[in-house]
Amino acid sequence: MTTQADDELWSAVADPSRLRVLDLLVSNGEVSASWLAGRVPFSRQAVSKHLVVLEEAGLVSRRKQGREVLYQVEANRLDQAARAMADLAAQWDRRLGAIKRLAEAAHAEATKTTRQP
């Protein structure tokens, strides 16, 4: 089960361009939007838009330094996103495990009945 907060996280990183921005922030620490714009194949305006979405999802925070605005990744939130994904995978592992037990028990039962009429 996902929560509204997870949904927001997922949508935020569901865009390849945003992922690229996030990736750059992760590997370079605190940087400005213009710095980012110089390293991606899309416009400065697009970078700003992506930063807004990432900020709304809590994945990125901003800080003013002189006339510049610097952005950086929110490590806790990113970690939370990774964990939410891992939880969902674990949930499916549990469900598949239950299906396996049920199917194998049903099959063993059926085999027993046909072999001992």
What is the Rg, in whole angstroms, of the alpha carbon atoms belonging to the chain?
23
**Minimum CB distance to other proteins smaller for 42 or for 44:** 42
- Identified binder of other proteins from the candidate list 21, 22, 47, 51, rule CB under 8 A: 22
* Burial class of residue 8 in the structure, from the number of CB atoms within 10 Å of its CB (0-12 exposed, 13-18 middle, 19+ buried): middle
Q: What would the two tokens of residue 22 be?
A: 């996030």
What's the CA gap between 43 and 95, in Å, rounded? 44
- Identified binder of other proteins from the candidate list 53, 64, 86, 117, rule CB under 8 A: 86
User: Where does this chain bind other proteins (CB under 8 A)?
Assistant: 1-2, 7, 10-11, 13-16, 19, 22-23, 26-27, 29, 73, 75, 78-79, 81-82, 85-86, 88-89, 92-93, 95-100, 102-104, 106-107, 110
